Amino acid sequence: MAEIVVQNICKEFGDFTAVQSSSFRIEDGEFFMLLGPSGCGKTTTLRMIAGLELPTSGAIYIDGEEVGQKPASQRDIAFVFQMFALYPHMNVRNNISYPLISQRMPRAQVREKVAEVARILGIESILDRPVGGLSGGDRQRVALGRAIVRNPKCFLMDEPLGALDAEFREHMSEELKKLHDRMGATTVYVTHDQLEAMQMGDKIVVMNHGIIEQFGRPQDIYDKPATRFVAEFIGSPPMNFLKFHGSLEIDATNVTLHHQTMTVPALREPFDGDMIYGVRPEHIRLSDTSGYRGEIIATEYLGTTQIVTLKTPNGDVKARIAAEQSARVGETVGLEFNGATVTLFDSQSGRAIL
Ligand code: ATP
């Protein structure tokens, strides 16, 4: 098990800064997600934790020891690049035992360790089969077995499920989570898939252009996005943003949206300027009594719910409502926002001001 502290790390490649002054703490035993769009610096951050890339500045501590400039071999961590990277000419047993044999562990001990890992992963019956003929799921388990057999302090995984189809991906993410709950090893996991991060992570770092936008528990990130970027990146469909051009009146708890006063939680501090009113689709109700009205321009049936797109005076808005509620394209209806759940953003900086 391991606690990892990342302190002000930067990574420059020539004059390009891939990671800027990032800091976060990963608690012992946590399943920790590095989330963000392509090119935001997740892999570079993971590679710096692994020791495969050295930070240009800043420090990395594993269990209190500063390892920032130490090579990977001195960090006692297992890097799972890609689950399918197995040795095709070897059988399952030899694939799993390979890391131990290269450490010159005595044969009897290797046998014992491999048997233990096979039991954890439920692959005892295929130990003597060549990996070539295995199903995708079994190959994935073998690759995991090879990573866990060394009993490392921590696992680092870079988009391990990226190459799988959606159904199998969901199955494997459940297995990975179960395995983590069973072993309790600190795991740092890179993904660009917000749903995967929300479902699997104890904590999430959301990155964009080499900068940490927010760091916290999935629920906090979803409910209280620190920036407009986070609000848009997390949640499907994403949060709605209603724009105002200087016509917003505000006191401690009210905003006026197109002549309609809405209650919002009190601001952290007074704010003067253009704002964006952020509301998640599931926090909008369609009601005849609301004076804030919109025309339904599309509906999308999703089984238990439906997504209704409405044209409002402040732009298009998506609402998630019950599937059985009547909503017809062309109808004009009232929209009611749950004021306790909205977020206001500074339209200039994109930062939340609530
Ligand atoms: P992806 O999911 O696409 O891999 P990422 O968030 O993991 O994205 P990184 O791989 O960390 O992003 O890359 C961040 C930025 O740093 C990218 O613009 C990438 O081109 C750049 N970069 C990464 N490694 C190098 C390198 N060795 N030399 C130069 N630029 C690099």
Are residues 84 and 140 in contact, defined by beta-carbon separation less than 8 angstroms? Answer: yes
Tokens of 52: 């495969």
What are 287-298's pLDDT values in tens digits? 888 888 999 999
Amino acid present at 279: V
353 in any annotated domain? no
Residues 183, 116 within the same domain: yes
- Residue that is last in its domain, among 230, 249, 275: 230
259 in any annotated domain? yes
Distance 11 CA to ligand 1 centre (A): 10
Most confident among 103-117, 247-261, 332-346 (mean pLDDT)? 103-117
Domain tally for the chain? 2
CATH number for the domain including 269?
A: 2.40.50.140
Pocket of ligand 1 (CB under 6 A): 13, 16, 18, 36, 38-44, 192
Strands 186-191 and 154-158, sheet pairing: parallel
DSSP state of 346: E
Distance 18 CA to ligand 1 centre (A): 7
328 in any annotated domain? yes
Asked whether residue 247 carries a pLDDT value surpassing 50, the answer given is no
- Residue that is last in its domain, among 230, 256, 286: 230
**Whole-number Cα distances in Å, 334 to 211, 249, 308:** 39, 21, 13
How confident is the model over 52-56, as a mean pLDDT?
94
Nearest CA to ligand 1 atom 17: 39
105 in any annotated domain? yes
Distance 52 CA to ligand 1 centre (A): 13
Residues 36, 110 within the same domain: yes
Residues 327, 310 within the same domain: yes
Question: In three state form, how does the secondary structure of 158-188 look?
Answer: ECCCCCCCHHHHHHHHHHHHHHHHHHCCEEE
42 in any annotated domain? yes
Residues 173, 281 within the same domain: no
Q: Cα–Cα distance between 22 and 4 in angstroms, integer?
A: 13
Q: Cα–Cα distance between 180 and 42 in angstroms, integer?
A: 21
CATH number for the domain including 123?
A: 3.40.50.300
pTM here?
A: 0.87
Q: Cα–Cα distance between 353 and 144 in angstroms, integer?
A: 43
Q: What is the ipTM of this complex?
A: 0.96
Q: Cα–Cα distance between 215 and 208 in angstroms, integer?
A: 12
Residues 212, 293 within the same domain: no
- Ligand 1 atom with the smallest distance to the CA of 36 is 6
Asked whether residue 280 carries a pLDDT value surpassing 70, the answer given is yes
Distance 19 CA to ligand 1 centre (A): 9
What is the best residue among 20, 40, 49, 161 to mutate for testing ligand 1's pocket, by most ligand atoms within 8 Å of CB? Answer: 40
What are 2-35's pLDDT values in tens digits? 899 999 999 999 999 999 999 999 999 999 999 9
Quote the longest CA-to-CA distance of the chain: 78
CB atoms within 10 A of CB 190: 22
Residues 249, 336 within the same domain: yes
- Ligand 1 atom with the smallest distance to the CA of 40 is 6
List Cβ<8 Å contacts ≥24 apart for 295-304. Answer: 295/330, 295/331, 295/332, 296/327, 296/328, 296/329, 296/330, 296/331, 296/332, 296/333, 297/329, 298/329, 299/327, 299/328, 299/329
Amino acid present at 85: A
Residues 60, 160 within the same domain: yes
- Ligand 1 atom with the smallest distance to the CA of 11 is 16
Distance 35 CA to ligand 1 centre (A): 14
Nearest CA to ligand 1 atom 11: 41
Residues 136, 274 within the same domain: no
Residues 170, 86 within the same domain: yes
162 in any annotated domain? yes
- Residue that is last in its domain, among 230, 263, 284: 230
Residues 218, 276 within the same domain: no
Domain that holds residue 309: 239-346
- Ligand 1 atom with the smallest distance to the CA of 37 is 6
136-148 and 166-183 are packed helices; what angle lies between their axes, rounded to 10 degrees?
Answer: 30
What confidence tier does 268 reach under pLDDT thresholds 50, 70, 90? low
Residues 277, 163 within the same domain: no
Are residues 121 and 70 in contact, defined by beta-carbon separation less than 8 angstroms? Answer: no
Q: Cα–Cα distance between 143 and 246 in angstroms, integer?
A: 56
pLDDT greater at residue 152 or residue 105: 105
Tokens of 242: 């209603």
Are residues 17 and 210 in contact, defined by beta-carbon separation less than 8 angstroms? Answer: yes
Q: Cα–Cα distance between 308 and 317 in angstroms, integer?
A: 8
Asked whether residue 208 carries a pLDDT value surpassing 90, the answer given is yes
List Cβ<8 Å contacts ≥24 apart for 165-170. Answer: 168/136, 168/137, 169/196
Residues 175, 260 within the same domain: no
What percentage of the chain has pLDDT greater than the value 90?
A: 56
- Ligand 1 atom with the smallest distance to the CA of 19 is 14
Nearest CA to ligand 1 atom 29: 13
218 in any annotated domain? yes
